Chain A
Amino acid sequence: MARKVAQRRPAAPPAPPAAKKVTKVPSRAAKRAAPKKQQLLESSDDSEEEPQQLHEEEEEDSDAEVPSGSDAEELSGSDAGSSGDEEEEEDDEEEEEDDDEEDNDDPLAGDFLAGSDDGSDEGDDSGDDSDVSDDPEARSAALDRQNQQTEVDAEEELALNIRSESDEFRLPTKEELEEEALGPPNLPNLKRRISEIVRVLSNFSRLRQEEVPRKDYVDQFKADVMSYYGYNEFLIEAFVEMFPAVEVVELLESFEKRPPECLRTNTLKTRRRDLAAALIPRGFNLDPIGKWSKVGLVVYDSTISSGATVEYMAGHYMKQGASSFLPVMALAPQEKERIVDMAAAPGGKTTYIGALMKNTGIIYANELNEKRLHGLLGNIHRLGVTNTIVCNYDGKELPKVLGINSVDRVLLDAPCTGTGTVWKDAQIKTSKDIDDIRNCAFVQKQLLLAAIDLVDANSKTGGYIVYSTCSMMIPENEAVIDYALKKRDVKLVPCGLDFGRPGFIRFREHRFHTSLDKTRRFYPHVNNMDGFFVAKLKKMSNTIPASSESSKDPEEAAEGVDANSDDEDEKDVPDEQPPQLKKRNRKDGKKKNEQASIPEEAENQNQAPEKPAKQLKNHKGLKKSSGPKSVEMNGDKEGTHTEQTEHVKSYKGSKKNNGPRNAEMNGDKKEASSEQAERRVKVHKSVKKSSGPKSAGVSGDKTETPDEQTEQISHKKKRSDKIKKSGSKSTSEIKEKKPVSDNKRKRKWQFKLRRDWEAKQKCEKRAKV
């Protein structure tokens, strides 16, 4: 028995707790052996197998009795001696036939032999079952039990460890934090703590420390993440608000890495597989970028820089981030369309548009920053895009330059804080603040409204605006789109990109329009590209909703109204008119966020300024146009067109005395009427000839007399008075005929003449110069 015990120990599993069992098992085995022996002695050979089985059970039952023996045996040496033999025997047994043991262990051997000459083999075979070969059987049973026990113990240990870990994770106390703050940040420590907190937060109810609020965990998390990844508080707060803690860590990890470099095949010059075939021998490791693009290639690595190949020089491809494909894919420009790219540099998207259009149609590529123009030009020329006009305006001015409602599609890749492309500029991590975001959002709103105004809702093939940013901040993305939805008659349509997360419909206290789920957000840790936002708007009509005008000041309101009327003008009048008319708009931005003071006034004067403002605007605009046309337009535009034209005609025809000034004008009128076909300047000149303070100033010297000046001033006053008066009175819409009193008509006509005269003055001055 002792032998067996000693033998068992080395054979037993190494786990320390198992050591105890080792002794138990052999003891069991030993115990088993003892009764077995007896039985063997007693029983006959044939019947051994059956009783063996029985005995097995018995042995197992009687295990308990033996331990003492085994313990004793460990202590005693004499037994050990004998056990040593047994061990050897058992070793042999285990490895070889049982015969060896039989030889050495007399009682057993004899029994064994006696019991199983025939059965030895049987015993061997059924060694696990028979009493006689209880050693292997016992051993295996013992081993099984050992294993079980060790498993159980191991689990217990593990559980113990787990418990001890979670118990151990406590938020660092203030003293600990102060200690930490003294030295440089201990990065591994921070990392561990971050992952701990994330774990706790994900299963908060179970894993939390007692009485420690969630906020404490989150605050500690923010602080750790800030110092580990190097961000400022503002950005981290923003991310923590947008994502769960696990995702924040993923996001920040992905920001540390650069997204893979991508190339876009220039379909004007080559095809993707030809390009790949050309680049791979140069040592590029390429793959198509994904199912979603037919022109994109991803470069895993390359022996030479991707900007150094002949194909690059020849313009066969463009180095571009994968996210930059998306807004152009959403825009889906068609051939022969007019497209505007409002923020075009460095030109990746512009050239993609050109490639999609196959050099038909026309692209206006605009870029505000002069320094970036060079690169934009270079890329356009290199890629062989020929249908482009590059200009250098502020995007807000484009509607004036190009004409509102004049293009089919607009792409606005708006300037933003760039929080989605942190890998490009590590400074973004620390330099962005709430003010930056607000300023950006302001500019973006203006640009978006300008973009919407550029588009013609009645375009046959288009009428779409795509707004995109490389930022993930909500004030720059969803809030801007929401603003546009309120200010203009546009609606969100699906982008055509089937991956990416939908935009936020609500966020904290903000509630956006429900259609904002059609916008798409892309993240580096989800899509393996820069953080990006894309939204596609369709312009439903060219009118500007009245509610949107309330926040404008009067002039803008007038502009807005002019926008409507310009449609008709464009039809009536040749192309040169619209640009001129647009030029007369003095204000740059059409809509401003902060005009709190003005709305009330504007509301009062909302409808009213249309008329006189229009009238005024007409005058300004008409500086450059011919006389008769302007007069007609003047008449057409105003509500009182029939009366006006009548008035005009009558004015021309007759010598109506409408007032002191008219006396002077009468002569003019006549002459004017005779020269109606000629330019306005000439009309003015004819006016010159007549008498009166006005004409005095006009004739010869063309110097403004003080009288004129005072007249001008008084006229300005009158004009403003007029606006206010009519503002309070009028309630009609643009086209409605309104009964006009004689006096009013007089004044209107006087104003018109005033305007004409001033315009003439300016022309003459210019000519002089």
Chain B
Amino acid sequence: MRPLDEKETTMVFETLFKFTGPNLKHLLERPSAEGPDAEPGRYCLRLHKNRVFYASESLVRRATAVSRVRLAGVVGTPIGKFTHGGAFHLTVHALDLLAAHARRRVWVKPDTERSFLFGNSVPKSALARITENTKSGDGVVVMSMADVPLGLGLGFRVEEG
């Protein structure tokens, strides 16, 4: 497990920025209650076997005792992973984290929840509510009407005429 290097960090931040915008700094500067220390540490990103994890520093420190081979799912929440080709993909485990900090949200009608959960895109007709100023290419958190975050998505607007 190691900290991300420059390139990797920029890639991750770029992707996150699509969702959170300027809130990004909140992600890393949150005081964390995790870890047995009395003082809240800060959060950091760590890379382990091509997966990026978001964990508090104290947790990370404790995890160094576990040997690399044996460290399985690690630490904190996995945010995403680097593909073989070097791109960074966000995974759904980041949902909780992003849902809290995301700027743009989209609420889906109850009937279409299932459809989205099983992998289909959300057409405009299925949207009950949408944050203003959502542009094409914006990262968006899909929520159900009960404010349960369902997933992540990218805004896609088809310009007509």
Contact between chains at A362 and B34 (CB < 8 Å): yes
Q: Mark B124-161, 1 if CB is under 8 A from A, else 0.
A: 00000000000000000000101011100000000000
Within 8 A of B (CB), among A394-419: 401-403, 408
Residues of A within 8 A of B117 (CB): 310, 313
Interface size class of A (residues with CB under 8 A): 35 or more
Complex CA–CA separation, A386 to B36 (angstroms): 13
Binds A, one of B5-13, B20-28, B72-80: B72-80
Contact between chains at A389 and B63 (CB < 8 Å): yes
Q: A311-B148, A314-B148, A381-B78 are in contact. Are A391 and B34 (CB under 8 A)?
A: no
**Is B62 in contact with chain A by the CB < 8 A criterion?**
yes
Within 8 A of A (CB), among B51-79: 55-56, 58-59, 62-63, 65-67, 70-78
Contact between chains at B146 and A278 (CB < 8 Å): yes
Q: A362-B59, A381-B77 are in contact. Are A392 and B93 (CB under 8 A)?
A: no
**Is A200 in contact with chain B by the CB < 8 A criterion?**
no
Contact between chains at B73 and A403 (CB < 8 Å): no
> In whole Å, how far is B83's beta carbon from the nearest beta carbon of chain A?
19
> In whole Å, how far is B47's beta carbon from the nearest beta carbon of chain A?
15
> In whole Å, how far is A12's beta carbon from the nearest beta carbon of chain B?
72
> In whole Å, how far is A423's beta carbon from the nearest beta carbon of chain B?
30
Contact of B62 among A311, A360, A362, A373 (CB under 8 A): A362
Residues of B within 8 A of A392 (CB): 70-72
Complex CA–CA separation, A392 to B149 (angstroms): 31
> In whole Å, how far is A341's beta carbon from the nearest beta carbon of chain B?
13
A578 (CB) vs chain B CBs: closest residue: B65
Q: Mark A312-326, 1 if CB is under 8 A from B, else 0.
A: 011010000000000
> In whole Å, how far is A638's beta carbon from the nearest beta carbon of chain B?
27
Contact of A362 among B35, B38, B73, B149 (CB under 8 A): B35
> In whole Å, how far is B57's beta carbon from the nearest beta carbon of chain A?
12
Residues of A within 8 A of B148 (CB): 310-311, 314, 316
Complex CA–CA separation, A337 to B70 (angstroms): 23
Interface size class of B (residues with CB under 8 A): 20 to 34
Complex CA–CA separation, A377 to B75 (angstroms): 10
Complex CA–CA separation, A302 to B96 (angstroms): 28
Complex CA–CA separation, A697 to B31 (angstroms): 56
Residues of B within 8 A of A579 (CB): 65
> In whole Å, how far is A465's beta carbon from the nearest beta carbon of chain B?
18
Q: Mark B75-117, 1 if CB is under 8 A from A, else 0.
A: 1111000000000000001001000000000000000010001
Contact of B150 among A314, A358, A359, A391 (CB under 8 A): A314
Contact between chains at B34 and A359 (CB < 8 Å): yes
Residues of B within 8 A of A336 (CB): 33, 36, 38
Contact of A380 among B58, B70, B73, B149 (CB under 8 A): B73
Contact between chains at B73 and A377 (CB < 8 Å): yes
Contact between chains at B113 and A401 (CB < 8 Å): no
Residues of B within 8 A of A358 (CB): 33
Contact between chains at B66 and A362 (CB < 8 Å): no
Residues of A within 8 A of B78 (CB): 381
Contact between chains at A391 and B36 (CB < 8 Å): no
> In whole Å, how far is A391's beta carbon from the nearest beta carbon of chain B?
5
Q: Mark A292-315, 1 if CB is under 8 A from B, else 0.
A: 000000000000000000110110
Contact of B71 among A362, A370, A391 (CB under 8 A): A391
Complex CA–CA separation, A384 to B95 (angstroms): 10
**Is A171 in contact with chain B by the CB < 8 A criterion?**
no
Contact between chains at B96 and A384 (CB < 8 Å): yes
**Is A390 in contact with chain B by the CB < 8 A criterion?**
yes
> In whole Å, how far is B91's beta carbon from the nearest beta carbon of chain A?
9
Complex CA–CA separation, A390 to B55 (angstroms): 13
Contact of A376 among B38, B73, B146 (CB under 8 A): B73
Contact between chains at B62 and A389 (CB < 8 Å): yes
Contact between chains at B34 and A360 (CB < 8 Å): yes
> In whole Å, how far is B146's beta carbon from the nearest beta carbon of chain A?
7
Contact between chains at B59 and A310 (CB < 8 Å): no
Contact between chains at B72 and A373 (CB < 8 Å): yes
Complex CA–CA separation, A380 to B74 (angstroms): 11
A339 (CB) vs chain B CBs: closest residue: B36
Contact between chains at B34 and A389 (CB < 8 Å): no
Contact of A401 among B35, B66, B75, B150 (CB under 8 A): B66
**Is A387 in contact with chain B by the CB < 8 A criterion?**
yes
Complex CA–CA separation, A313 to B58 (angstroms): 29
Complex CA–CA separation, A690 to B157 (angstroms): 79
Residues of A within 8 A of B146 (CB): 278
Contact between chains at A361 and B34 (CB < 8 Å): yes
Complex CA–CA separation, A313 to B74 (angstroms): 21
Q: A314-B148, A579-B65 are in contact. Are A360 and B33 (CB under 8 A)?
A: yes
Contact of A373 among B59, B65, B73, B113 (CB under 8 A): B73
Residues of B within 8 A of A512 (CB): none
Complex CA–CA separation, A377 to B62 (angstroms): 18
**Is A169 in contact with chain B by the CB < 8 A criterion?**
no
Contact between chains at B35 and A387 (CB < 8 Å): yes
Residues of B within 8 A of A359 (CB): 33-34
Within 8 A of B (CB), among A242-300: 278
B67 (CB) vs chain A CBs: closest residue: A401
Residue among B33, B75, B117, B144 facing the most chain A CB atoms (10 A cut-off): B33
Residues of A within 8 A of B150 (CB): 310, 313-314
Contact between chains at A403 and B65 (CB < 8 Å): yes
**Is A239 in contact with chain B by the CB < 8 A criterion?**
no
Complex CA–CA separation, A336 to B34 (angstroms): 7
**Is A393 in contact with chain B by the CB < 8 A criterion?**
yes
Residues of B within 8 A of A591 (CB): none
> In whole Å, how far is B142's beta carbon from the nearest beta carbon of chain A?
11
Residues of B within 8 A of A314 (CB): 148-150
B71 (CB) vs chain A CBs: closest residue: A391
Contact between chains at B113 and A310 (CB < 8 Å): yes
Residue among B35, B55, B73, B149 facing the most chain A CB atoms (10 A cut-off): B73
Residue among A338, A370, A389 facing the most chain B CB atoms (10 A cut-off): A389
* Other 16 A-B pairs with CB < 8 A, given A386-B55, A387-B35, A390-B73: A310-B113, A310-B150, A314-B148, A336-B36, A360-B33, A362-B36, A362-B62, A380-B73, A381-B73, A381-B77, A384-B77, A386-B76, A386-B77, A387-B76, A389-B66, A408-B36
Complex A-B: 8 CB contacts under 8 Å: A310-B150, A311-B148, A367-B72, A386-B76, A387-B76, A389-B63, A391-B72, A393-B66
B-to-A contact residues, CB < 8 Å: 33-36, 38, 55-56, 58-59, 62-63, 65-67, 70-78, 93, 96, 113, 117, 144, 146, 148-150
* The 5 nearest A-B residue pairs measured at CB: A377-B73, A390-B73, A360-B33, A387-B34, A390-B72
